[in-house]
Structure 1
Amino acid sequence: MYNLIRVEFFKLRKNRSFWTLLFVLSVLSLAYPLLYYFDHRSSGEPQITGAEFLITFISSNAYIIKFGVAVLAGFFISNEYSTGVMKTIASSGNTRGQLFAAKLIVFAVGSIVISLVFPIVSTVEVTLLSGFGHLPEGSAVLFISRAFGLTVLYTAGYAAIGALFTVILIDSGKTIGFSLIFFIMIDTVLVGLGSKVDFFATLYDYSIFKLVGNIGKPSIDSGELPALLLVPLLTFVISGMLGMLVFRRKEIK
């Protein structure tokens, strides 16, 4: 299993799509705060601080998580079906469960790296330009560690869902397209169903899709924390097990 994970990390390091995503997001992460900086400077408004920027935009990072997971799933996992690599490794002597688990772990790590680019790079840049400032409540260290920790957990949950789509759809284009549409539309669908059926309303309230928006809350009640932690973990485990089950039964051509 350790060797399989090492092989997958080697593939990730050599994956051009992964590095392209990191480069593009890094450029956008540097450019976006500059727009705010020069706009506020020209209008004479007070500059936004690093703390204010992080609180305001950490929840919006969910869009980058969804986009990064969808694109990386297509080019890192699904692409191996069309190139024949998946057929080769499936006959390597390792169990399919081990193969999928190794891919999921490394894919989740790659997605996590992508998800942290915008909040880290942007916050550091804004802090250098206008200082970090103060958070409305609590310790800065506590908020930053909690926000980044939850980002890691929720990205892993989304990555497990994306990995499940790859073994169902196989084709990289279909995986990227379906994943993007699913991640964008699922909130609207569940809210619409929830307005008519209470079960779907409850399902959405305790789903990764809604709770990801709470990552950037300045303060979290002790009663909210268990759900915020358990939901992404359960999503990762359940989606991972489903993906493993489908991968074991999948005919690889």
Structure 2
Amino acid sequence: MSNLFRSEWYKLTRNRSLWLLCIVLFAAAVVNALFVYYDNSNDGGAMSASSGIELWMSSLSANQYIIKIGLSILAGFFISSEYANGTIKRAVTSGFSRSKVIVAKLTAYMLGAMIVALIFPAVNVVLGSALLGFGSLPDASNAEYVVRTFGMTLLVAAAYASITGFFAILLNDSGKTVGFSIVFYFFIDGIIIMASKYIPALKTVYEYSVLQVVLDYANETLSSSKLWTGIIVSAATWAVFLLLGIAAFRRKEIK
């Protein structure tokens, strides 16, 4: 199993889509921090952040789009593309069980997803603190907020990676995976909210889903009950879709 994971990690670190995502997100974070530094909100500037911690907070609010788009792209070109080039078939016929093969791949993918999810906020807070000072939050402890949101970013990224990895296993085509995942993530919220007018129970389901957690976890004044709800929902989502992905892969015909 360890050999399988090392092999998948090696492939991930040499995956062009991961490096492209990292470079784009790093550059975007640098540009964002410099815009904030040179923008004077007292002079009619549009940027409201004035410290490293505020940049961390604002970048986490935007991070939901990075998670949804970035993880869709990575899943398409790290998981689905290997059906087309025969890598998956060779792995399955190498003597390892299907469960071990897909667990190793999904584990490497989830670690890549965590890296993608952290780059934009991490670069923003580091560069923002160097340029503007770290600053402080009026309604929360800096250390508590950073530790909480750092951990939740990793957990939410793992949950979304589990869902997107499941899509990639089902669709086994990079273009279909990227397209379907992005469309799904950007429309599912609105569809559920509209449908909840006719099926009220859907509203409760949505409020206790990772779709809601990703919107709330960066809130400075998040209550402890909502925090624990977010942790449990994210962990449960990760576990459920990981098991679904394993089950789907074990039953899938690989050509």
Q: Same fold per TM (> 0.5)?
A: yes
Note if 1:13 corresponds to 2:13.
yes
Structure 2 equivalent of residue 248 of structure 1: 250
Give the Å deviation of 1:198.
Answer: 1.3
Superposition pairs for residues 43-192 of structure 1, below 5 Å?
A: 43=43, 48-192=50-194
Q: Deviations over 1:2-31 (max 9, x none)?
A: 111111101011111111110111001100
Structure 2 length as normaliser, TM-score? 0.95
Structure 2 equivalent of residue 231 of structure 1: 233
Aligned mates of 1:150, 1:183 — CA distance in 2 = 19
Quick one: which amino acid aligns to residue 8 of structure 1?
E
Aligned mates of 1:151, 1:195 — CA distance in 2 = 31
Note if 1:35 corresponds to 2:13.
no
Give the Å deviation of 1:184.
Answer: 0.8
Aligned mates of 2:235, 2:42 — CA distance in 1 = 45
Give the Å deviation of 1:41.
Answer: 7.2
Report the secondary structure of 1:133's partner residue: coil
Quick one: which amino acid aligns to residue 114 of structure 2?
I
Aligned mates of 1:55, 1:22 — CA distance in 2 = 20
- Contact 1:22-1:114 within 8 A present in 2 as well: yes
Quick one: which amino acid aligns to residue 195 of structure 2?
L
- Contact 2:51-2:135 within 8 A present in 1 as well: yes
Displaced runs of 4 or more, over 6 A: 44-47
Q: Deviations over 1:72-129 (max 9, x none)?
A: 0001111101111111111111111111111111100001001100000011111111
Return closer, same or farther for 1:102/1:187 CA change in 2, 3 Å cut-off: same
- Contact 2:59-2:124 within 8 A present in 1 as well: no
Give the Å deviation of 1:38.
Answer: 2.0
How many residue pairs were aligned? 253
Superposition pairs for residues 191-210 of structure 1, below 5 Å?
A: 191-210=193-212
Report the secondary structure of 1:33's partner residue: helix
Aligned mates of 2:140, 2:186 — CA distance in 1 = 33
Give the Å deviation of 1:57.
Answer: 2.8
- Contact 1:70-1:175 within 8 A present in 2 as well: yes
Structure 1 equivalent of residue 218 of structure 2: 216
Give the Å deviation of 1:42.
Answer: 8.9
Aligned mates of 2:224, 2:114 — CA distance in 1 = 25
Quick one: which amino acid aligns to residue 119 of structure 2?
V
Structure 2 residues not aligned, in runs of 5+? none
Mean alpha-carbon deviation: is it higher for 222-231 or for 99-108? 222-231
Quick one: which amino acid aligns to residue 246 of structure 1?
A
Quick one: which amino acid aligns to residue 97 of structure 1?
S
Q: Deviations over 1:183-215 (max 9, x none)?
A: 111111111111221111011000101111112
Aligned mates of 1:247, 1:200 — CA distance in 2 = 29
Mean alpha-carbon deviation: is it higher for 189-198 or for 148-157? 189-198
Taking only aligned residues, the RMSD between alpha carbons, in angstroms, comes to 1.5
Note if 1:24 corresponds to 2:13.
no
- Contact 2:72-2:177 within 8 A present in 1 as well: yes
Q: Deviations over 1:38-84 (max 9, x none)?
A: 22179376861112222233122111011111000001111101111
Aligned mates of 2:49, 2:141 — CA distance in 1 = 22
Aligned mates of 2:37, 2:13 — CA distance in 1 = 34
Return closer, same or farther for 1:206/1:42 CA change in 2, 3 Å cut-off: closer
Report the secondary structure of 1:224's partner residue: helix
Aligned mates of 2:157, 2:180 — CA distance in 1 = 18
Structure 1 length as normaliser, TM-score? 0.96
Report the secondary structure of 1:203's partner residue: helix
